[in-house]
Amino acid sequence: MNPDERPPLHLRGALKFAPAPESVPVPIAPRYGHFIDGRFVDGDDPFPVIEPGTGQPLTQVASARPDEIDAAVRAARAAFPKWSGLPALERGKYLYRIARRLQDRARAFAVVETRNNGKPIRETRDVDVPLAAQHFFYYAGWADKLNYAVPGRALRPLGVAGQVIPWNFPLLMAAWKIAPALAAGNTVVLKPAETTPLTAMMLAELFQEIDLPPGVVNIVNGAGPVGGHLVAHTGLDKVAFTGSTGVGRNILRTLAGSGRKLTLELGGKGANIVFADAALDQAVEGVINGIFFNQGHVCCAGSRLLLEESIADDFLARLRRRIETLVVGDPLDKNTDIGAINSARQLATVQRYVQRGVDEGAEIWQGAACAIPDRGYFHLPTLLTGVQQSDTVAREEIFGPVLVVLTFRTPDEAVKKANDTEYGLAAGVWSEKTSKLFDVAHALNAGVVWANGYNLFDPASPFGGIRHSGFGREGGVAGLWPYVEVA
């Protein structure tokens, strides 16, 4: 049946949920500082941290001074000989303890992450927190196997790693950075994003609880300049950065010729390619997940939908009908599919891009199962159709719940359009024909290609980009290489 003939689900009364807010009370301190050499320090120049779901101040966080960043790097340096000298089995035990304690406190971490970031509790509960724990479990398992990873060769840690992470997966990115570094015997200075410092500071509490030796992980808070100061610090042996391509370029310049190792995980403009022979309803779910998971604040988001022309109208009808069932609203409500945009600034950026798309001739369609709340930072799931390959919205990363739709006629054309981007992080292909999946996947220029799925993550599987999406891998055995030297 043509899906357009039926009224949307919510008009048929199928989607009336009573509110189901998360009820675990979680203490949030009035102010956070830094974590240096195993101790919490107050720090100076506090600035407000806003709760995106309400738009109201949640707490305050300090901004690290150069001497505080210096103290953090010195503490990591001082801790390095002992930490790297521990029998690998003993280092592994600390990582197992971190993973288990994270599981014990999963609910508190999920609530704090949701309040600080704006993403739905369903996602923090089912994805961010369990995946973060899995990363610590996974690299705990590597700690005592490093000497067997390359037959006949020993792996040595690099020393002190400076790590800067973004706001879209605050806890998960901290886990991706810290777990492999520690497993290999490095020590760390981490800088969380300025809007989302809270779960990193909870991790610091957890490190104290499990008696992680002081100085092995240090956390300094603050905005871009603090990150800039950290990555330029000559006391580091290694820098790992996840964030925007523009900042990544600056860091590349800063570190050129320094001899310090660098990995960059940057932006993306992922293509999700749906062939006419795909299981369409399954593909609709994958496309939804690809662009609306985490409000579209996903570097590997499937933000460009490439539809085979013969099914484009049918597919878009199914997609619109599915989008009309999505609940946008209170991030702490367990029914919520799409939560709040992380900041007023990011919301303005998304709105600007949507307007730009319309100005350049795109047709806009928005829908949801409900109206968006009248406070906090929300954006309706948005489709832009009639988009040309050369339009801004088809080329630049929007980093929001906005899907750009293009069409193609042949597999060749699909591949050409998908690869016509400066990025190269991720892509998806949907088809019932396995040979087509393999052919197209191999022809795509992207670090990760999903077949008949999207946004699937596993700690054992490497993740990372090519071209302007950066270099280096996180996850899997490949995620260890940026933190070791093969002796």
Residues of this chain that interact with ligand NAD (CB under 6 A) are: 164-168, 191, 193-194, 223-224, 227-228, 231, 242-244, 247, 250-251, 265-268, 299, 397, 399, 425, 465, 470
Residue 370 annotated among the catalytic residues of the structure: no
**In terms of residues, how long is the chain?**
487
Closest CA to 476 of 192, 236, 102, 183: 183
Residues 6+ positions from 435 with CB-CB distance below 8 Å:
none
Q: How far apart are CA 443 and CA 455, in angstroms?
A: 20
Q: How far apart are CA 113 and CA 129, in angstroms?
A: 9
Q: How far apart are CA 403 and CA 178, in angstroms?
A: 32
Min dist CB 164 to ligand NAD, Å, is: 5
Nearer to ligand NAD by Cβ, of 254 and 325: the residue is 254
Q: Residue 463 has what DSSP assignment?
A: B
Which of the residues 51, 68, 123, 299 is marked catalytic? 299
Residue 300 annotated among the catalytic residues of the structure: no
Min dist CB 11 to ligand NAD, Å, is: 36
Return the exposure string of 186-204: e unless at least 16 CB atoms fall within 10 Å of the residue's CB, then b.
Answer: bbbbbbbbbbbbbbbbbbb
Nearer to ligand NAD by Cβ, of 218 and 242: the residue is 242
User: What is the separation, in whole angstroms, between the first and last Cα of the chain?
Assistant: 64
If DSSP codes are grouped into helix, strand and coil, which group holds residue 450? strand
Nearer to ligand NAD by Cβ, of 103 and 244: the residue is 244
If DSSP codes are grouped into helix, strand and coil, which group holds residue 135? helix
The partner residues of 56 in beta bridges, in order of sequence, read 51
Nearer to ligand NAD by Cβ, of 164 and 212: the residue is 164
Which of the residues 68, 265, 397, 474 is marked catalytic? 265
Nearer to ligand NAD by Cβ, of 95 and 298: the residue is 298
* H or E element that contains 70: helix 66-85
**Residue closest to ligand NAD (Cβ):** 227
Nearer to ligand NAD by Cβ, of 23 and 234: the residue is 234
Min dist CB 374 to ligand NAD, Å, is: 26
437 φ/ψ angles, rounded to the nearest 5 degrees: -55, -45
Indicate which residues carry an active-site annotation: 265, 299
